């Protein structure tokens, strides 16, 4: 995509389907005067909406609508941009797009690829990479908190945090590089500049931004929660209770759920992708065997697993043996798996007191009455690591979190070099350089073309 970034482009910028209004957008470095004259019948006044007939090759109106012209560099892409707003029927918009492409054939006008308008904005320094990604995140936001956080990132809040960290790293790099040029002054120079104190405070600042980025990643991506347990423990009832709708079939017949049922809910603005799975037991037929196999596959991919138990059946030998078998496979030999497993005991409304003490972090609830659901929701947020106020969070992606983690790792290595009795300042300088580069990946200061292609290819066409 990057090799064609000087081509003039055009696309329908509104969602497919019928609507009240649809937009055809054109962006080009070349003069758009001939295209405006052919389609609009006149050259438009910059940044003024003009109501007029949008004409075909014979001069007949395709539709009547608004035309807006934004001359470079004062446009979304930084190039000359023409937007034609017509009625939102797919045929009308396709006719308008075809007309623009035909008129623009002489200047090489072509269909835009996904995300190419926003890519132009990035390449022309209208947005940095984090802001460009926030455009897509704002469009895709599934909760109000995610939308507000994406808007905050689009306005530059996240980029400002990153730029501040970058400036502090640059200052430290300057001190160390200057010291390398004058080695006889190295101890006094660095001590007088409080280089060690600056580095320590910088690491603390990175930790703070990293924590907020993790919260933003949760708002964007949510957490994948799988309901697991034996048949008839109430998994489908719990999914329905959490979703507030009858999504899954609930019957007393074991093995009712044969395939996964998924619903996205939100808790304090954090999306939770809750998945109900087939009851885990020895399969009675081929269909159930496939369903159980899919259940284990979902469990392996989950961020959190609700291991659901039936309080009314505790103490029954067959039931306890089934739970023990599931627990052994669920937790495996890795004790770290315990961190994502939440033990929940259902049917508290119909059960006698538990015959044995439950685990310290276990929850009791009733999916039938809703008692205890609030505690489960908060426990899920805690397992996900959510603790920030949405108003203080900027949207972030997994790659942002990973880049900040690499930045922190290099700064810690730099700190270790600085504290060593035989400190090697050239190694200290190298770690600071690597930290600087890792941080630059977030805003696009240091980004390979293949990374940019991957990011923008996930945008919708016309944006």
348 is in an annotated binding site: yes
125 is in an annotated binding site: no
253 is in an annotated binding site: yes
159 is in an annotated binding site: no
49 is in an annotated binding site: no
167 is in an annotated binding site: no
Strand partners, 380: none
According to DSSP, the β-strands at 270-276 and 341-346 are unpaired
216 is in an annotated binding site: no
φ, ψ of residue 274 in degrees (nearest 5)? -95, 130
46 is in an annotated binding site: no
237 is in an annotated binding site: yes
- How far are the Cα atoms of 47, 134, 170, 443 from residue 129, in angstroms, in the given order? 26, 9, 20, 5
Cα–Cα dist 13/86, whole Å: 12
Q: Are 386 and 268 spatial neighbours (Cβ–Cβ below 8 Å)?
A: yes
277 is in an annotated binding site: yes
CA dihedral over 406, 407, 408, 412, signed as positive or negative: positive
Residue 71 C-alpha from the chain's centroid: 33
Picking from 111, 35, 136, 14, the residue whose alpha carbon sits closest to that of residue 80 is 35
As given in the structure block, the two tokens for residue 457 are: 């290819």
279 is in an annotated binding site: yes
Within 10 Å of residue 415's Cβ, how many Cβ atoms?
17
126 is in an annotated binding site: yes
φ, ψ of residue 44 in degrees (nearest 5)? -85, 150
236 is in an annotated binding site: yes
Cα–Cα dist 160/61, whole Å: 47
369 is in an annotated binding site: no
201 is in an annotated binding site: no
463 is in an annotated binding site: yes
Give me the residue label for tokens 């055809």: 24
Cα–Cα dist 416/426, whole Å: 13
Q: Is 319 exposed, middle or buried (0-12, 13-18, 19+ CB in 10 A)?
A: middle
152 is in an annotated binding site: no
Q: Are 120 and 203 spatial neighbours (Cβ–Cβ below 8 Å)?
A: no
455 is in an annotated binding site: no
- How far are the Cα atoms of 104, 381, 411, 438, 443 from residue 207, in angstroms, in the given order? 51, 20, 11, 15, 18
260 is in an annotated binding site: no
349 is in an annotated binding site: yes
Picking from 129, 124, 99, 127, the residue whose alpha carbon sits closest to that of residue 26 is 99
Could you tell me where the beta strands, DSSP code E, fall in 139-295? Answer: 223-228, 261-267, 270-276
407 is in an annotated binding site: no
Per the annotation, binding residues for Mg(2+) are 236, 257
Per the annotation, binding residues for (6S)-5-formyl-5,6,7,8-tetrahydrofolate are 25, 83, 126, 463
Per the annotation, binding residues for GTP are 232-237, 251-257, 276-279, 346-349
Per the annotation, binding residues for K(+) are 232, 251, 253, 256
Per the annotation, binding residues are 25, 83, 126, 232-237, 251-257, 276-279, 346-349, 463
């Amino acid at each position: 995509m990057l090799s064609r970034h000087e081509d003039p482009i055009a696309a329908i910028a509104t969602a497919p389907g019928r609507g009240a209004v649809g937009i055809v957008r054109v962006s080009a470095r070349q003069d758009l005067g001939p295209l405006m004259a052919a389609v609009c019948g006149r050259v438009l006044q910059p940044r003024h909406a003009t109501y007029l007939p949008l004409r075909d090759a014979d001069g007949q109106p395709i539709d009547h609508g608004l035309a807006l012209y934004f001359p470079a560099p004062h446009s979304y892409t930084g190039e000359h941009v023409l937007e034609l707003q017509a009625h939102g029927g797919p045929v009308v918009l396709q006719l308008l797009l075809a007309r623009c492409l035909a008129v623009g054939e002489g200047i090489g006008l072509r269909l835009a690829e996904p995300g190419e308008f926003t890519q132009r904005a990035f390449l022309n320094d209208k947005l940095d990479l984090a802001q460009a990604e926030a455009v897509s995140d704002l469009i895709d936001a599934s909760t109000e908190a995610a939308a507000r956080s994406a808007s905050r990132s689009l306005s530059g809040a996240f980029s400002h945090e990153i730029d501040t960290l970058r400036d502090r790293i640059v200052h430290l790099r300057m001190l160390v590089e200057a010291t390398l040029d004058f080695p006889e002054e190295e101890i006094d120079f660095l001590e007088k500049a409080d280089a060690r104190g600056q580095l320590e405070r910088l690491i603390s600042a990175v930790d703070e931004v990293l924590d907020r980025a993790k919260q933003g990643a949760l708002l964007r991506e949510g957490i994948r929660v799988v309901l697991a347990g034996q048949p008839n423990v109430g998994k489908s009832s719990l999914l329905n209770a959490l979703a507030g709708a009858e999504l899954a079939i609930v019957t007393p017949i074991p093995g009712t759920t044969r395939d996964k049922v998924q619903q996205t809910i939100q808790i304090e603005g954090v999306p939770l992708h809750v998945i109900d799975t087939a009851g885990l037991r020895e399969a009675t037929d081929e269909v159930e065997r496939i369903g159980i196999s899919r259940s284990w596959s979902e469990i392996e991919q989950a961020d959190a697993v609700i291991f659901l138990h039936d309080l009314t059946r505790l103490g029954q030998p067959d039931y306890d043996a089934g739970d023990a078998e599931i627990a052994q496979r669920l937790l495996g030999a890795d004790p770290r798996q315990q961190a994502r497993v939440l033990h929940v005991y259902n049917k508290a409304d119909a059960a006698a007191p538990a015959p044995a003490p439950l685990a310290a972090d276990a929850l009791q609830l009733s999916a039938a009455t809703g008692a205890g659901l609030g505690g489960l929701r908060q426990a899920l947020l805690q397992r996900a690591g959510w603790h920030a106020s949405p108003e203080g969070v900027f949207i972030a992606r997994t790659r942002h979190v990973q880049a900040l983690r690499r930045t922190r790792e290099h700064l810690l290595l730099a700190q270790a070099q600085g504290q060593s009795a035989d400190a090697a300042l050239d190694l200290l300088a190298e770690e600071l350089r690597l930290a600087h580069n890792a941080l630059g990946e977030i805003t696009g200061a240091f980004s390979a073309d293949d990374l940019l292609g991957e990011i923008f290819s996930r945008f919708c066409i016309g944006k």
